[in-house]
Structure 1
Amino acid sequence: MNYESGESPPSRPTKKVRRVSNRKALTKRPFYRQKWREGWTSNPLFSGWLSKSPRSTSSKHRAFCATCNMDFQCGKSDIMRHATSQRHKDLSMQVDNKSLSSILLVNDPLDKSAQKIERKLCAFLAEHYLPISLCEPIMLLLRDLFPNEDALKRICLGEQRASDIIHQVFGKPLLQDLCKVLKERMFSVIIDETTDRSTTKQMSIIVQYWEGNKMHNSFLDLVEIHDSSASGLVTALIQSLETKEIPLENVLAFSSDTTNVMMGEKHSEATIIRELLPNVILVECPSHLIHLCASYACLKLPKSLEDLCRNIHIHFSLSSKRQDPLNEFQNFVGAAPHKTLALGQTRWLSLKNCVKRLLEQWEALGSYFTDVAFTDPTDSNDAILESLNDKFTFAYLEFLSYNLSRLNNFNSQFQSEVPNFYCIRKEVRNLIRSICSDFMSIPYVKKCDLHALDPKHPLFSSNIVSAENIYLGVMAMETMRELKQKSSAHDIKIFYESCLNFLIESVKQIQNRFSLSEPIHAIVQCLNPVNAANLEPKSLAFVFDAIPQLYEYADRSKTDLEWRSHCFIEELNDQVPCSQYWDIVFNKKNALNLPCFPNLRVVISVLLSLPFSNASLERFNASMERFFSNFNTTKTPKRTQLKNETVCGLMHMVYHLRNKGLTTDGLRIDDCISL
C-alpha cells in the first residue's frame, strides 16, 4: 500500500497472551482408576465368575475371573472385553461340564438333600408350566419359612442352574431312555408344524408305542424348520431320527394332519416317506377328516348362519358395556347367564357349541338386538336382528345342532387314550348309515354297502324319500310344523332342499376322505376282543405279510399257534375293553412262570401301537393335538426367550410325568432319572 509522507502505517493490535505459571504448566491431569463395585456380581453376565481380586495389593482396582483364574483392570469395558474373549468362552464350557458333574454326583447327605430340593422344584416348574425365573424368589421364600433348614442354605438355584437341571438332568437322560426303547421296538411317528410365540416355525415329533398294558405317547424332538416344503419336513424328520441313532426300519406308521403338504396325493410328506420306507403304514387323523367333512357340508346351507355366529360374538367381545343389558334380558326371559362363544377356524367342530349357545340364548338375544337396533341402528345390528327374526334361521340352527352332535360323537371316540384303531371302519359305516337313514328308505339303507355306493348313481337318488319325510331332528321337525302354516311353499321347499344337500354332501365327503379299503383296516380287526375270542381271522400269517418287519421280532408259526390257543383262557371276557382283554393274555404264565404267549404279545403290541388319531400333539389331555396346547402353555409370553433345548427338557419332563401317572409330590428323583 502507498502511504503519504509523514504518515506511518497503522500498528497491528497486540494479542493478549495468557500467562501460565511454570508450576501449572508442568502439572499433568490425574488418571482416574475405577474401583471395584459389588453390584457387578448381580449382573447375569458376570455372576458366577467375577469377583474382587484377592491377589493384588491394590485389589480395590482389580477384578478377578474365577473361570480363567486371572485378574485384570477393574473397569466396565475391561470386564465386558474379557467376558467376550474366546479364551473365557472356551474355559466357561469346561466349567459348565464340571458344574454339571457337581449337579449329578453328590456324596454329602446334606448336599443330596439340597439336590433333591433343587430337582423337585425344577420338576414342579415344568409340571405346572411356571416361569423358570421363579426359582430364585421361591428359594428366598423357603429360606424365610424354614430358617433352620441347613439344606436350603446350600442351594444356589438361579435361572441358569435351573435351566441346566431341566436340560441336562431331566431332558437328556429321559431322551436317552426313550431312544433306547425305540431302538428295540416298532413305533409310530406323529408330526405336525407350529409357529411358537416367538414366531419361530418348528416341527414337533411324537412317538407312540405300546408297552406293558398302556399306550405311551412320548415327546421325541422339537425341530426348527427353515424349509417347510414336504421334502424339507421329511429331511428334518429323518435327520432327527438318525442323529439319535434310531433305526428307520423301526418306524411302523406315520400320521399327521390332512393338509396337502402332509398327506397330499402328489408330492407330500406321506408320499416321500412311502418311497423311502415302502412298508410304513400311513394313517390320516379321523378327527381332522370328520371336521373337513362337516365344513364342506355346511357350505350347502345359507352363509348367513355362520355370519350370525361370528357377528353376535364380535358384538359382545368388543365392549363390556353391552354385556350388562344382555344380562338383564337373560334374567327377564329366564335364560342362563352365559356368554356367546367364538367360532374357531382351527377348533374341531366348534360350530356345534356356538349353535347350541345361540339356541339357548335365542329369546334373550332377540329382545336385546330389538332394543339395540332402535337405539344404535347400524348395518351390523340390523343384519343380526333380521337373522334373529327369520324363523327359518332358527330351524336351520336346530337342524345343524342335531347333525353336528353325531359328528362330534364320532370325533370324541378317537380322542381317547383307549386304542381303538380297529373301530374306525365300523364307526364310519355306522355314521354313513345314520346319515342316510334321515333321507333314504330304511330297507335300502339296511341291505347295501353305503360306503361303496356312488351318490350320483340313479339307484341312490331313486331311494331318497320325499322332502316332507326327511328327518331333521326333533326340535327342527317341531319348528317346521309351525312354519308350514305361516310360510310360503317356496320358502319351505328351499329349506328342505338345503337340508337334503347338506346330508348328501356329508355322505360324499365321508366316502371320499375315509379310505376303508386300505388293508390295514382289515388287519387290525383281530384286536377286537369279540373277533379274537372267536378266532376271527383263523390265522395271523397275513399280518406278517403286511408288516414284514415283524419277522425280526416274532416267529410266524409260533405266533399262529399262540393265537389259536389264547382263546381258551378261562378268565377272558370278550365284552371288556381291548386293552383289558389283551392285558389278561399278556400276563398269562405257564408252570415255569414264563409268558405263555411271547410271540403273540409282540404282534399285538405292534398293532396296538398304530396311531388312531393325532389328537395328542395338539391337545395334551385327549394323541398330536395335545402337544401344541401343551407347547403353547410351556412357551408362554413370559417364556419366549427359552432355548429350544430347555423347551425340550420341559416337554420331556411333562410327558414323563404323564406317562408314569405321576405328579411332582409323588416323584422319586432316583427312580425316574438314570444318572
Structure 2
Amino acid sequence: MVARGNYPITLMDTLQATLKTRVNDSAIVSNLRCGRTKTTALVKNVIGPAGKSDLVTILKSLHFSIIVDETTDRTTTKFLVTLVRYFNEHQQKPVEEFFSMPVVSDATAAGLKVLILAEFEQVGIRLQKMIGFAADNCSVMLGYKGGLGALLKNDLPWLTVLGCICHSFSLCSSAALEKLDKSIVQICHDVHNFIAYSSKRKKEFKECQEFLNAAKHSISYPCKNRWFAFEGCNVRMLEQWGPLELYFQSFLAEDNQAAKKIYCALINPKMKLHYSFLAYVLPLVNKMNVHFQSEKVEIHRLLSSVEAGLRPIMDNFIRPEFLRGKSAFDVDHTNPRHQKAIIGIYYGAKVETLIMDLSSSLCSNVLLAFRISCLTFYIELFSQIKMRVNHKDDTLIQLQCIDPKEALSGKVLSIAPLFYKFRSTLTLDIEEINTEWWQLSKLKRTIRELDAIPAESLLLQRKKRHRKALLEDLDYQYDDIDESDHFSGESSNDGDEEVMEVIIRETLPPSSPERELDLDPAFFGPSSKLTLS
C-alpha cells in the first residue's frame, strides 16, 4: 500500500497502532509488527529489487526509449534520473516507469553517456533495443555536437533524439519577453515584494480591494522557472490594477521611494497597454504548451499542432497574401514587406478597448512605441519557435502519416519512408506491410471526433478480438464495414501492428507528470522529494 500509493513510510507507525486499537479481536492484527523500519527494509530490499527485475525482463524483449534529467538533493549530491518508456502489451498503450537514479560523478555529456550505458549493460539489456532519447534542452543534454543526445546517436545511429517541446515553448516566451521593456516584468516583482512580506500592508491592500469591490486576491510572484507563471501574474495584475493604484497612491505623502516608483509605473498608460497585450498573446503560446503535456501519444501531431497554434498569431501581423498556401514555418516573418502596417497589427481586444478609453490622453508617440515593441515581441517569438522546433526533421515529417485522419484518408499510399526510419527494429517484409497499410484507406466508417483518437488505437483496428473494446473505449461509430475484408479470414495483418507498436514506443518529450517524482527516502536517502528541472 505504501509503495503503490507513494505514501510516507512513517504512516506505518500510526497505521499499526490504529489497527490494533480498532481491530482488537484479530490474532493477525495483534501480532502485526511492521513499523517504519521494517517497511523501509521490505520496500528497499524486496519490493524495489523485484520491481526492477520485472522491468529488466520486459526491456530485454521490447524496444524502449529513455527520458533523463539531472537532479540534486538537499545534500547537493547530483543524480541522473532515468525513466524508460515502452509499449505495455497488457494495457495496450505506452507507459513510463522509473528505471534508475545513479549518483553523478562526472556531469559532462561524455560522463553522463558512460553512466547511462553502464546502467543498462550491467543488467544485460542490449542497447540495440533503445530507439528514443528525450531530455530537457540544456546544452549538456541536447548540444548539437557535444550533447548527450548527439554522443548517444554516434553509437546508436537509429536513435531518435527529442528535446522537451514544452520547455522549448517556455524559453520562446521568455526570450520574446526580453525584447520588451524590462520594467514591464520588474513592476510585477516590485508589487509582490512590497506587499507579500508584511501583514500590515496586506491588510491595507485588502481594504483597498473591499473599497473597490474587487476580488481579494494577492499578487503572484513571476517565477522564471515555472512555465505558466507570468501568464497568471499578468492576469492578476490586470485584475487588481484599480486597487493597486489606490493603494500605492496612499504612499505619495510619505517618503517611500519604492512605493512612488510603483505608482508612477501603474499610472503610465504604456504599462497597462503591455499587460493587456500579454494577457492576449501569452495564453496562445501556453495553449500549445499545455497540449504537449498530454499523456497521450502526440509525437505524430507535433508539427501539425505547432503550425495550427502558430497560424492565429501569424494572422495578427503577417499580411494574408504571404500566408496563403504556405506553411507557417516557410513564411519570412522578419521581412517588413510581409508584415502588416503598424496600425493594422492586432494586439488583442483588451488593448483596442484600452486605446479607445485613453484616446484623449494617450500620446501618439507612446502609442507608436507600444505598437513597435509588440511587433518586436511577435518577431522574436516566431524566431525562437522556428529555431527550437525542427520542422525539417525527417522523422517528425514521416510520423505525420500515422495520424488516424491521414492513415484512413488514402493520401499516403506508401509507408516505406517511415519503415526505413525504423528499419533497425523491424524484420518484416516491406511489401507486405505496405499492402496492409494501403488497405487501411478502404475502411468505410463514420468516426466522431476523429482528431481525438489516440495513435495507439490503430493497433487495435486490425484485431477482431479488440473490436468491442474499441467501440466502448473510443466511442467508435462504424458505418458499413466489410467484415469479411478486414476482420475475418486468415490474414492477421501483424505487419502493420508491429510497425505501429515500434512507432508509438517512440519517446515523447519529458513533459509528463512522471518527471516530477516524490521519491521516498527509504529508496534514495535523505531527500524525500526530488524535482526534475
TM-score, structure 1 as length reference: 0.71
- Distance in 2, Cα, partners of 1:290 & 1:454: 20
Gapped regions of structure 2 (runs ≥ 5): 466-485
SS in 2 for 1:337: coil
Query: Would you say the 8 A contact 2:109–2:148 is kept in 1?
Result: yes
Gapped regions of structure 1 (runs ≥ 5): 1-119, 621-625, 652-675
Query: Would you say the 8 A contact 2:456–2:504 is kept in 1?
Result: no
1:559 to 423, 426, 433: 433
Query: Letter of the aligned partner of 2:229 in structure 1?
Result: S
Cα 1:255–1:575 shift into 2, 3 Å: closer
Query: Letter of the aligned partner of 2:150 in structure 1?
Result: T
Query: After the TM superposition, which residues 182-197 of structure 1 pair with which residues of structure 2 at under 5 Å, given as runs?
Result: 182-197=59-74
- Distance in 2, Cα, partners of 1:580 & 1:571: 18
Query: What is the aligned partner in structure 2 of residue 400 from structure 1?
Result: 278
- Distance in 2, Cα, partners of 1:491 & 1:446: 33
Query: Letter of the aligned partner of 2:309 in structure 1?
Result: L
Query: Letter of the aligned partner of 1:547 in structure 2?
Result: F
Query: After the TM superposition, which residues 261-660 of structure 1 pair with which residues of structure 2 at under 5 Å, given as runs?
Result: 261-375=140-254, 377-456=255-334, 460-552=335-427, 554-569=428-443, 573=447, 574=450, 576-579=452-455, 581-588=457-464, 596-616=492-512, 620=513, 626-628=514-516, 630-631=517-518, 634-635=519-520, 639=521, 642-644=522-524
- Distance in 2, Cα, partners of 1:272 & 1:526: 29
- Distance in 2, Cα, partners of 1:591 & 1:490: 70
SS in 2 for 1:346: coil
Cα 1:610–1:551 shift into 2, 3 Å: closer
- Distance in 1, Cα, partners of 2:511 & 2:353: 37
After TM superposition, give the deviation of residue 364 of structure 1 in Å: 1.1
Deviations 1:63-106 (A, max 9, x none): xxxxxxxxxxxxxxxxxxxxxxxxxxxxxxxxxxxxxxxxxxxx
- Distance in 1, Cα, partners of 2:258 & 2:324: 48
- Distance in 2, Cα, partners of 1:188 & 1:647: 27
Query: After the TM superposition, which residues 159-198 of structure 1 pair with which residues of structure 2 at under 5 Å, given as runs?
Result: 159-198=36-75
Cα 1:647–1:240 shift into 2, 3 Å: farther
Query: Would you say the 8 A contact 1:186–1:252 is kept in 2?
Result: yes
Q: Which has the larger radius of gyration?
A: 1
SS in 2 for 1:208: strand
Query: What is the aligned partner in structure 2 of residue 127 from structure 1?
Result: 5
- Distance in 2, Cα, partners of 1:586 & 1:547: 21
After TM superposition, give the deviation of residue 287 of structure 1 in Å: 0.6
- Distance in 2, Cα, partners of 1:197 & 1:570: 59
Query: Letter of the aligned partner of 1:521 in structure 2?
Result: L
Query: What is the aligned partner in structure 2 of residue 64 from structure 1?
Result: none
1:210 to 84, 87, 90: 87
Query: Would you say the 8 A contact 2:142–2:148 is kept in 1?
Result: yes
SS in 2 for 1:156: coil
Query: Would you say the 8 A contact 2:65–2:505 is kept in 1?
Result: yes
- Distance in 1, Cα, partners of 2:233 & 2:526: 38
Query: Would you say the 8 A contact 2:464–2:487 is kept in 1?
Result: no
- Distance in 1, Cα, partners of 2:409 & 2:167: 33
- Distance in 2, Cα, partners of 1:197 & 1:567: 56
Query: Letter of the aligned partner of 2:434 in structure 1?
Result: D
- Distance in 2, Cα, partners of 1:572 & 1:440: 37
SS in 2 for 1:487: coil
Query: Would you say the 8 A contact 1:195–1:201 is kept in 2?
Result: yes
Cα 1:595–1:311 shift into 2, 3 Å: farther
- Distance in 1, Cα, partners of 2:326 & 2:515: 41
SS in 2 for 1:223: coil
Q: CA RMSD in A?
A: 2.4
Cα 1:317–1:243 shift into 2, 3 Å: farther
After TM superposition, give the deviation of residue 143 of structure 1 in Å: 0.8
- Distance in 2, Cα, partners of 1:184 & 1:190: 19
Cα 1:586–1:353 shift into 2, 3 Å: farther
- Distance in 2, Cα, partners of 1:594 & 1:235: 48
- Distance in 2, Cα, partners of 1:591 & 1:255: 37
Query: Letter of the aligned partner of 1:291 in structure 2?
Result: S
Query: Would you say the 8 A contact 1:202–1:224 is kept in 2?
Result: yes
Cα 1:588–1:572 shift into 2, 3 Å: farther
After TM superposition, give the deviation of residue 614 of structure 1 in Å: 0.8
Deviations 1:103-140 (A, max 9, x none): xxxxxxxxxxxxxxxxx3x33xx52532x233223212
Query: What is the aligned partner in structure 2 of residue 115 from structure 1?
Result: none
- Distance in 2, Cα, partners of 1:532 & 1:437: 30
After TM superposition, give the deviation of residue 359 of structure 1 in Å: 0.6
Query: Would you say the 8 A contact 2:395–2:418 is kept in 1?
Result: no
Deviations 1:372-412 (A, max 9, x none): 4434x323222211111112111100101111010010101
